[in-house]
Amino acid sequence: MARSNDEVAALFAEYADLISITGGDAYKARVYEKAARSVGGYHADVSTLDVKGLQEIPNVGKSIAEKIAEYFRDGKVSAVEELRAKIPAGVRRLTAIPTLGPKKACVLHEELGISSVDELADAIHAERLRDLKGFGPKTEENILHGIELLQASEDRVLLDVALDLADDVVAELSRVTGCRRCAYAGSLRRFRETIGDIDVLAAATGPKPLMQALTELPYVSEVIAHGEKKTSIRTTKGLSVDLRVVPPDSWGAALQYFTGSKAHNIRTRELAVHQKLKLSEYGLFDTESGEKIVSETEEEVYARLGLPWIHPALREDRGEIEAGLHGELPELVEESDIRGDLHTHTDLTDGLAPLEEMVAAAAERGYAYYAVTDHGPTLYMQRMTDERMLAQREQVRELDGAYGKRGRRSRGGGMRLLHGAELNIDPEGEVDWPQEFLAGFDLGVASVHSHFNQGREQLTRRLVRACENPYVNIIGHPTTRIIGKRPGLDADLDEVFAACARTGTALEINAHPDRLDLRDEDILRARRHGVKFAVDSDAHSTLHLANMRYGVGTAQRGWLTKDDVINTWTEARLRRFLDKGRTGRRSGT
């Protein structure tokens, strides 16, 4: 289930928006934005802490700590409720539209009386916005696109939220007497980036105990349907869960059927028909005799159709059937293949944990190498200087000496530390620091953090120039999208992919659940260009290191193997890639 920390983080993020909408102190809004990030990434459950303990969280002072305590005591925060009461619910709803910030939402309400998404769409179609200061045809176009994104994400949640709930449901139902097997299926098993509802499948000789157990889970807010074949509930978080119980000998066919996708299942049923078979959730049957041929495992079902087992992440009818028939399915990268994380942050910039804690947490994950990549100086709010970065480098080198020699779970015995930076790609494609300074880093991750609305040609050239920099090894969160909140950059991605392949620059698959950037469709395209990838957590706290699982799932959906992902490589091979040909240029060869 969602952590208490996430509830408080969402509340403070809303409070920051409410402060902005009502014209409150901008500094205060930023304080609550920072507090939201800190609470969301904190390792301890904030509902178990007193005011004093809460004040140990970075960016949480006494006033904020008291509000957290108030929330868990009263179920609400009076200061938030007071601001909510001042603003029509529809105006608050406007702030959920990607590309429309609190200030613009406030202007629309004050100047045009707009207080709902539908009213805003009507006003745009009537061209009423373009007379307002700061608005114009391009702004109208962006807002309309934002409305489309919002509507597309209605009643859907991010992958991590759904997976958290599904893991809990499966664990609880697996304890029920008579349950032989239990797993989640559907789009969640395929690791789609957003989930509409959760499909859970169980195998048992009798369904009633399992169906009853589902309805009695502590977070059930409504029982939508309660039957012998299917029971549906809605949870207190608004997410629906559908449970189906099948006989144990139908498990494989049912798991294949309910995993989907619909398009993939159509193709498998077509294969069955051509072999005079019928495939359903109950098994694979001979059409003429009605005899059940196989059904107990997915492997048996696929094998009888002439296919190897197909990984759920591939089941989207994007060529996996043809590849399976020709013995050309890729051996997908697994989380256990990841040897290190190449994009992480500490409290030197916008991270929540000190360097020592981040390194210790990475070592506990058994990594062979680990990169620290705090922000460069052109993101002014991070207050980075040459001196601060060089001082961190010394710390990293000292820790490298210690961790590199330790006999840990990592491959080769120890964990080597890399000192890098997340460089900002400016509007012209330049990055922080001159090349002389950049030469001191082990690697450079370069990312776009602003000026998202440049023209297509400008954005494309900006990214290509960053790839051409010999000290840029990875393009971080390449399209800058935030799922459901900010669309990706309007750049010619094929030109960017070609530049990455030409220059030996990897593209990041950012594993944070609200990014998953690159998305799977773009990974498939980039892979055809011969691009290499880095699956990174972009961790801003020790908890975020575990987000790697979401990045790996996205990489699998993009058909990637170990060879495609640079942080599955040995340290020696990785360092050759990170050199990007600089050694040869320096020696004149």
Average pLDDT over residues 215-238: 90
Please answer whether residues 416 and 400 qualify as being in contact, where contact means their C-beta atoms are separated by less than 8 angstroms.
yes
Alpha helices in 453-492 (DSSP H): 456-468
User: What is the third-level CATH fold of 251-325?
Assistant: Beta Polymerase; domain 3 (3.30.210)
Question: CA 561, CA 252: separation in Å to the nearest integer?
Answer: 26
pLDDT of residue 587: 43
CA angle 377, 383, 384 (to 5 degrees): 45
**To which H or E segment does residue 194 belong?**
strand 194-195
Q: Nearest to residue 33, comparing CAs of 18, 44, 46, 48?
A: 18
Residue 407 has pLDDT above 50, yes or no: no
Reply yes or no on whether the pLDDT at 13 is more than 60. yes
Query: For residue 374, is pLDDT > 90?
Result: yes
Of 221-230, 368-377, 419-428, 577-586, where does mean pLDDT reach its minimum? 577-586
> pLDDT tens digits for 302-355?
999 999 999 999 999 999 999 999 999 999 999 999 999 999 999 999 898 999
512 vs 80 pLDDT, higher one: 512
Q: Does domain 338-582 have CATH number 3.40.50.1820?
A: no
Closest to 341 measured CA to CA, from 319, 363, 324, 323: 363
pTM: 0.85
pLDDT at 382: 66
Q: Which token pair is 355?
A: 């360097």
Q: How confident is the model at residue 1 (pLDDT cuts 50, 70, 90)?
A: very low
The overall average pLDDT reported for the chain is 90
| Nearest of 154, 429, 192 to residue 315 by alpha carbon | 192
Instruction: Decide which of 3.30.460.10, 3.30.70.141, 3.30.70.20, 3.40.50.720 is the CATH code for 157-246.
Output: 3.30.460.10
pLDDT at 408 over 50: no
Determine the residue type at 574: L
For residue 9, name the pLDDT band (cuts at 50, 70, 90).
confident
Checking if the pLDDT of 489 tops 50, the result is: yes
Phi and psi torsions of 294, nearest 5°? -145, 155
Cβ neighbourhood burial of 478 (10 Å; 0-12, 13-18, 19+)? buried
> Binning pLDDT at 50, 70 and 90, where does residue 44 land?
confident
Determine the pLDDT at residue 305.
96
Contact predicate 484/195, CB 8 Å: no
The residue ranges of every structural domain in the chain are 4-152, 157-246, 251-325, 338-582
Whether the Cβ atoms of residue 537 and residue 554 lie closer than 8 Å to each other: no
Q: What is the DSSP letter of 487?
A: P
CATH topology of domain 4-152: DNA polymerase; domain 1 (1.10.150)
Q: Which of 500, 569, 566 is nearest to 535 (CA)?
A: 566
Total Cβ atoms within 10 A of residue 371: 29
Helix/strand/coil percentages in the chain, nearest 5: 50, 15, 35
Please state the rounded mean pLDDT for residues 6-33.
84
411 pLDDT higher than 70? no
Cα–Cα nearest to 551, from 474, 460, 489, 444: 474
- Strand pairing of 292-294 and 474-475? unpaired
Q: What is the pLDDT of residue 549?
A: 97
